[in-house]
Amino acid sequence: MPHPQKFYLSVGELAAARGEVDQLSFHGVSPESFAATLQAALREPTLWQRWRAMQPDPDEVDPATGASDPEATVTATQTNMHCDVEVVTRLPHAILRHRLDLLVGHHWRLHDVSKA
C-alpha cells in the first residue's frame, strides 16, 4: 500500500453541506460529527457498499473503488463559515473525492496535499 498522505480541505457550511443521495449523505452539523462520519467512510467499506448496491448493475462497479484504510484519521475544526478538515490516509485522492462527494456533494474544496 502507498505511503500515507495528508489532505487539507474545507467544507462549506456543514449544516447545508449534503450529498446528492439523501440515504448516503452527511446529516450532522458539527465538525466532530463530520470528522467521525468521513473517518468511518474511509476506514470501512459500508458507505461504498451502500452506494454500490444503488447502482443499476452493482456487479459492474470496480471493486478497487471500495478500498478502505483502517488507519485513516480525520480531524475537523469550525472556522468562521466553513470547516477545515485534515485527512491522513493511504487511499488515493480519487477514492477520498468519491467518499466526500457522497457525503457532502460538491461543498468541499481541496487546498493542499503533503506526505504524512
Task: Give pLDDT tens digits for 51-72.
Answer: 999 999 999 999 999 999 999 9
Cell of 10: 474545507
Q: Where are the domains positioned within the chain?
A: 5-115
Q: How far is CA 94 from the centre of its chain?
A: 10
DSSP letter, residue 57: S
Task: Give pLDDT tens digits for 38-51.
Answer: 999 999 999 999 99
Query: By the 8 A CB rule, do 108 and 17 touch?
Result: yes
